[in-house]
Structure 1
Amino acid sequence: MSDRFELYLTCPKGLEGLLADEARGLGLEDVREHTSALRGSADMETAYRLCLWSRLANRVLLVLKRFNMKNADDLYDGVHDVDWQEHLDAAGTLAVEFSGHGSGIDNTHFGALKVKDAIVDKLRNAQGERPSIDKLNPDLRVHLRLERGEAILSLDLSGHSLHQRGYRLQQGAAPLKENLAAAVLIRAGWPRIAAEGGALADPMCGVGTFLVEAAMIAADIAPNLKRERWGFTSWLGHVPALWRKVHDEARARAEAGLARPPLWIRGYEADPRLIQPGRNNVERAGLSDWVKIYQGEVGTFEPRPDQNQKGLVISNPPYGERLGDEASLLYLYQNLGERLRQACLGWEAAVFTGAPDLGKRMGIRSHKQYAFWNGALPCKLLLIKVQPDQFVTGERRSTERNQDQERPAQAAAAEPARLSEGGQMFANRLQKNLKQLGKWAKREHITCYRLYDADMPEYALAVDLYQGWVHVQEYAAPRSVDPEKAQARLFDALAAIPQALGVDQSKVVVKRRERQSGTRQYERQNSQGQFLEVSEGGVKLLVNLTDYLDTGLFLDHRPMRMRIQREAAGKRFLNLFCYTATASVHAAKGGARSTTSVDLSKTYLDWARRNLSLNGYSDKNRLEQGDVMAWLQGNREQYDLIFIDPPTFSNSKRMEGVFDVQRDHVQLLDLAMARLAPGGVLYFSNNFRKFQLDEHLQARYAVEEISATTLDPDFARNSMIHRAWRIQAR
């Protein structure tokens, strides 16, 4: 075999430049970058050193052969021609990985099978002995990459991916891979800061990946020093003496590094469940003297008490992928920015985020930004110098800026971020509405009501109060509106809400409301399972502010529910499309002889059962699961009071056909009226903005539109929130 080899190093997308610099420093020559990879030439000692020392690579591949191929036969022949006896015994184990397509290979499994067959056929001996397949820990792992008709056949020297250092056996919900964490630290300047004796703090450390990677860099520890099994361990071309030389050098450097006084490296984590796993990871890495992890919120974390000590604050805040996350994340980023301004003057900061718009809300300018990828998610690394001239505390007039320049730096840093001009305008409107509606709500003993409903077109939100909680729905902006401007206005509004309403930011939940198809508005969006008990008209009801687009209580139907309560005494009540059966609870409160509630969703019927049970109305209150139209066709009972509030459109798999309220409301009302007892009343309501009641219904029934009387003051600004009719037999 040659003394020099072509090496092919793979890495996460976006790290190619950093990896090229690192690989050159480790001895790789003729370096050329590719997407998620680079290639170069090196001797065996350099190959071993890259395996041991690369903090950024995923794999180190030794290229055996490049050849052109037009079809599967060319693939087989090209692989078969290699002298595999130099690499693997006939009794050894093998794994093959194949990537790419073309040249008649459209299936990677088929490609891998052809490569395996070629190797096995070449190594099969006279006794019929041949290598077997071991996908987990093979003696030899072979890669074949197909690029534009060229096959690149390689041996994997690393074995398992190099990001798997071995210390992180326990991890949080969304951890960074170790090599990505190392790349972020390198981009943030940590090697320079560590060499100068600087400190490092991570205020949201999770299970400590940044902390361990930072300590290994500072202590000059090879990231894979403790790895016991490599891809070259059983390779026949392995040179053990050369490997021992490289490994012994790395061990000596680590011992010397750990013998130095440890740098101050600290992590803080709010979730108590992650503290011990994080500490376990630190201990497995052998860095307990260097790294300490404490429990603490972002708003309380302290860098090193020594005021002369400077360093790096590094953080990977959550990105926000669940419904309702935006509000809590906005406040998290604001708290992080406030803490940096108050406690970290003179430090550097690096914030790695998949939500760079939230990063802008920290109130500190970033002087550099780098693009990264966390898997398939595009991310940004924001580099910040925590200095007063980088602080952004709101929109100020020039005179205010001049005044601020005269203040001491510490005083300016302690000042919380001001609302933007738009945010202050939004806060003023909320306070005005609260003053007006709050008096009405208090007088009527109403604890859940709509405070704001897109009063100002540029702030297209609905803001509802639920007994101390704030539920915010963002209406999707038209395509004509710049998404960045819409996002900025949302953040302005969310920043204003706690100040304007005097609520804790943790009690604000925000959701994006778009046009829904079918029953999507009723589908579960989250799984926190937290129910809040609220009161209305003398009954108790359960709402869920986080898990679904709607909360379980349609606030605009409050007057209708109260009307039903007043009219229900002694009557048999039927609630169709009952949702969480809040109207049935009110009917039972009003003295209904019985209630029957029908809905297709088992989830919402379970919720309805809890609402009824909460008020002691489990008896004589029936819950029926089924398609309302089919249920009405099969039912022969009579009811004195009926309430129908159907969806605009439904195409559930559990029902026959599709329900369309405009098309099907005549049939629905005819079926329901057939179940109405003499002298009974049916209330029909829906929220389809373009709905038109069929004029022929007027000829068959006594129909009266009562929409205006079913709106309380909190919905007076939106008279089209729903329409309602009172219907009786003639």
Structure 2
Amino acid sequence: MQTKTTLKKRRARTVPRFTATCGAGLESLLEEEIQEFGGQDITTMPGAVSWQGSLETGYRACLWSRFGSRILLELARFPAPDPDTLYNEAGKIDWDAHFSPDTSFAVYCTLTDAELSHSKYAALRVKDAIVDQFRTRAGRRPDVDVSAPAIRFNLHVRGKEATLSLDLSGDSLHRRGYRQAAGEAPLKETLAAAIVHLAGWRRDTPPDTVLLDPMCGSGTLLIEAALIYGDSAPGLMRHQFGFMAWSGHRPKLWQRLVDEALEREARGMEKKWPEMIGYDADPAVVSAARQNIAMAGLEDRIQVSQRQLAHLESPASRGLMVTNPPYGERLSQKEAVKYLYRCLGRIFRARFPDWQLGFFTSNPELADMTRLSWDGRFRLYNGPIKCRLLVGGTKTKEPWREEETTWTLHEVDDPGPARDFANRLRKNCRELFPWASRESITCLRIYDGDMPEYNLAVDLYEQWVHVQEYAPPKTIDPKKARTRLNQALQVIRDMLQVPHSRIFIKTRQRQKGRAQYQKKQGPGKLYEVREGSCRFLVNFTDYLDTGLFLDHRTTRRMLGELARGKRFLNLYGYTGSATVHAAMGGALATTTVDISSTYLGRARANMSLNGFGGPQHLFIQSDCLQYLRETRERFGLIFVDPPTFSNSRHRKETFDVQRDHEQLLRLAMRRLSKNGLLVFSTNFRKFQLAQALEDDFRVEEITGETIPRDFQRHKGGLIHRCWQLRHQDADQEKDRIQQSSQ
């Protein structure tokens, strides 16, 4: 029988073999690290890198590896065709040479194409061998602690061969020790380090290169980048490693490596540092990031603050933007995330010339929404989620300018019977186009049933034409009506020189309430259009309405101007266009309420398209009357634009704006702050506001101020009516202040 002394001498003559595990996709980065640590005979395999070297190489890996998860010191290799053989072979190891019976331990097992089918049972057999050996030799056994063992052993069985190793790292190396708070689905520190490294961030990055994360979450990318730049060993903040309870631990060697790392970190802190900036829309997440940054001792190196993506500006002429935007794993979020990507790409192209971008996403198919080209693509995993890191930059030195749509009138050779329609359309366009150009209006109505014979509404949405045919009376021959429609369409195509593919045609029947919003076809493509500084998604095919009511253009602009510093409530929010204007105008928070999940999904997408998100922008699926009865929130600005009539399947009762508006507005006024403003609009042409509302509140009709110029010819008269409502006491206080100042 071999003595303990003989085993120790044999171990001293044998060059140790180590294995470092890592996340999928990080193997090449980990291999480079092992080479720097002095590893020899390096072998790379999926999820792991093994090497031969001195114990110092293993210690260096524990202290310095940015990409490795665990560092394993191989103790033995042996065949393991069955649990009994596993027990016998594990019992041949001199466990007393590794730890004492006073030290708690645990055995963890992984199987790869193994004949053994149960990893927990395999680990149990090794545990039994260890315990039985101690009991036989010392008459007592060590405790097993699977949650927080002092020393850990790793059993890996591939096929019929087992490798039993000592886990030098203890806890996974991604637990650096600085993360005290985390946002939703935080990145592992090892993955974050890989992202910033692959994006181009290095220890020798020029100090005039700004690092920016516009959606920084808990700050992990920024912290890992700072550790790289400052040459700071990621293991320095850890107080515990697995080897510290190991009998073979060499404290003097470890201390020498720690002292060396501290000296390198001190030199790194003395050099000139770049700006490192992080933003996030969520104030709670920003607070968490600041806690983590402070825990890492980097509060004077990294600056994090709350900011919406919409307000992102370039802080310098050159830099690296690296970000891990939301994934949108839930179906309700995926559409919004898609347009968040588009917003980020647009902002990067427009405001960050000469910058590089590292874009990490689990939806590489959505990355095309950024409309950026990529120089590098890396396959990585965030846990089980397949991801991509896309690296690239702007390709031109010229300032980025968005393509403008300009409409030009062309002569129509022979309009034939549609001559009068052609003349009217040309007259309207000559009046409206210069006005629209001066006002930067790109979506407008150029014809609105001006002639009974051609009962159409023609809207321009940037380069697209949306034609709605009002259903003719029953007294009109359908064939004749169809002929006139075709004549009008030919005039539109010829006069505007627009191809068939950019014209969308619908027939608008007489509808009640939200029936006009019911789906007609689909699924259809969403097109992006602009309105002032805002952008919206419109659908020309699925519904009678596109999702953007052009007659409310002036009302939306007014709401944007009024929203600064206020909490905004959008009732019957539809696709959230008023909410976008309020957010762009500086609203502190917004709440959009609608009974339809489809509309709320578009509202989220519209907000994301404009760069707004976070918990201060809420979307609530609810009947608006029910919401008003239940909520206790107060708002400084409320917009109420109810349907004329609704018998939605979601409602137990029907809604009639004439019958129910007083109840609706009284409930809404209860949620209006003392000095707040409520804007009420309706498209019901015969609507009469309840006199009792004018008695109890200060009411002012502002219809004339809200009808855009292109809707002043509406064939049915006023296309909508609009009022402002305020609390009486607020007005009395305002009058009192004005009188006292006089």
Output the TM-score relative to the length of structure 1.
0.60
CA distance in structure 1 between the aligned counterparts of 2:147 and 2:622, rounded to whole angstroms: 48
Kindly indicate whether the alpha-carbon contact (under 8 Å) linking 2:79 and 2:160 is maintained by their aligned counterparts in 1. yes
- Number of matched residues? 499
2:116 aligns to what?
105
The amino acid across from 2:75 in the alignment is L
SS of the counterpart of 1:182?
Answer: helix
1:182 aligns to what?
193
The amino acid across from 1:23 in the alignment is I
Q: 2:388 aligns with which of 371, 377, 380?
A: 380
1:329 aligns to what?
337
Structure 1 residue 450 corresponds to structure 2 residue 517: yes
Q: 2:286 aligns with which of 275, 278, 281?
A: 275
Structure 1 residue 432 corresponds to structure 2 residue 467: yes
Structure 1 residue 343 corresponds to structure 2 residue 363: no
Q: Deviations over 1:376-404 (max 9, x none)?
A: 1111111112232799989999xxxxxxx
Kindly indicate whether the alpha-carbon contact (under 8 Å) linking 2:349 and 2:400 is maintained by their aligned counterparts in 1. no
Kindly indicate whether the alpha-carbon contact (under 8 Å) linking 2:109 and 2:119 is maintained by their aligned counterparts in 1. yes
Kindly indicate whether the alpha-carbon contact (under 8 Å) linking 1:448 and 1:465 is maintained by their aligned counterparts in 2. no
2:178 aligns to what?
167
Structure 1 residue 241 corresponds to structure 2 residue 252: yes
Q: Deviations over 1:37-91 (max 9, x none)?
A: 1111111111100000000000000011111121111100111101111101022
SS of the counterpart of 1:432?
Answer: strand
Amino-acid identity (%): 32
- The 5 A counterparts of 1:569-588 are 580-582=651-653
The amino acid across from 1:376 in the alignment is P
2:168 aligns to what?
157
Distance 1:284 1:451, change over 3 A: same
Distance 1:447 1:434, change over 3 A: farther
Structure 1 residue 304 corresponds to structure 2 residue 315: yes
CA distance in structure 1 between the aligned counterparts of 2:399 and 2:238, rounded to whole angstroms: 45
1:29 aligns to what?
40
SS of the counterpart of 1:63?
Answer: strand
Shift of 1:193: 6.2
SS of the counterpart of 1:33?
Answer: strand
SS of the counterpart of 2:108?
Answer: strand
Shift of 1:106: 1.4
Distance 1:11 1:319, change over 3 A: same
Distance 1:160 1:425, change over 3 A: farther
SS of the counterpart of 2:516?
Answer: strand
The amino acid across from 2:374 in the alignment is S
Distance 1:208 1:465, change over 3 A: farther
1:721 aligns to what?
none
CA distance in structure 1 between the aligned counterparts of 2:25 and 2:112, rounded to whole angstroms: 23
Shift of 1:115: 0.7
5+ residue gaps in structure 2? Answer: 1-10, 406-439, 444-458, 472-503, 527-538, 551-574, 585-589, 593-598, 603-616, 631-641, 669-742
CA distance in structure 1 between the aligned counterparts of 2:549 and 2:177, rounded to whole angstroms: 44
Distance 1:338 1:78, change over 3 A: same
CA distance in structure 2 between the aligned counterparts of 1:232 and 1:579, rounded to whole angstroms: 62
Kindly indicate whether the alpha-carbon contact (under 8 Å) linking 2:314 and 2:351 is maintained by their aligned counterparts in 1. yes
1:636 aligns to what?
none
CA distance in structure 1 between the aligned counterparts of 2:202 and 2:39, rounded to whole angstroms: 21
SS of the counterpart of 2:218?
Answer: coil
Shift of 1:529: 7.2
Please say which of residues 70-79 and 339-348 is displaced more in the overlay: 339-348
Please say which of residues 424-433 and 328-337 is displaced more in the overlay: 424-433
Distance 1:202 1:120, change over 3 A: same
Q: Deviations over 1:456-502 (max 9, x none)?
A: 877897458799799xxxxxxxxxxxxxxxxxxxxxxxxx9979x99
Q: 1:43 aligns with which of 36, 39, 54?
A: 54
Distance 1:391 1:175, change over 3 A: farther
The amino acid across from 2:146 in the alignment is K
Kindly indicate whether the alpha-carbon contact (under 8 Å) linking 1:144 and 1:153 is maintained by their aligned counterparts in 2. yes
Distance 1:154 1:95, change over 3 A: same
5+ residue gaps in structure 1? Answer: 398-414, 419-423, 471-495, 512-526, 544-554, 563-577, 591-609, 616-730
2:621 aligns to what?
531
CA distance in structure 2 between the aligned counterparts of 1:341 and 1:361, rounded to whole angstroms: 13
Distance 1:150 1:435, change over 3 A: farther
Kindly indicate whether the alpha-carbon contact (under 8 Å) linking 1:323 and 1:510 is maintained by their aligned counterparts in 2. no
Structure 1 residue 317 corresponds to structure 2 residue 325: yes
CA distance in structure 2 between the aligned counterparts of 1:172 and 1:434, rounded to whole angstroms: 51
Shift of 1:274: 1.1
Provide the aligned C-alpha RMSD in A.
4.6
Structure 1 residue 12 corresponds to structure 2 residue 23: yes
Kindly indicate whether the alpha-carbon contact (under 8 Å) linking 1:30 and 1:40 is maintained by their aligned counterparts in 2. yes
CA distance in structure 2 between the aligned counterparts of 1:21 and 1:237, rounded to whole angstroms: 27
Distance 1:108 1:89, change over 3 A: same
2:557 aligns to what?
none
1:52 aligns to what?
63
Distance 1:444 1:379, change over 3 A: same
Output the TM-score relative to the length of structure 2.
0.59
The amino acid across from 2:365 in the alignment is D
Kindly indicate whether the alpha-carbon contact (under 8 Å) linking 1:447 and 1:534 is maintained by their aligned counterparts in 2. no
Kindly indicate whether the alpha-carbon contact (under 8 Å) linking 2:174 and 2:188 is maintained by their aligned counterparts in 1. yes
CA distance in structure 2 between the aligned counterparts of 1:272 and 1:288, rounded to whole angstroms: 17
Shift of 1:289: 1.4
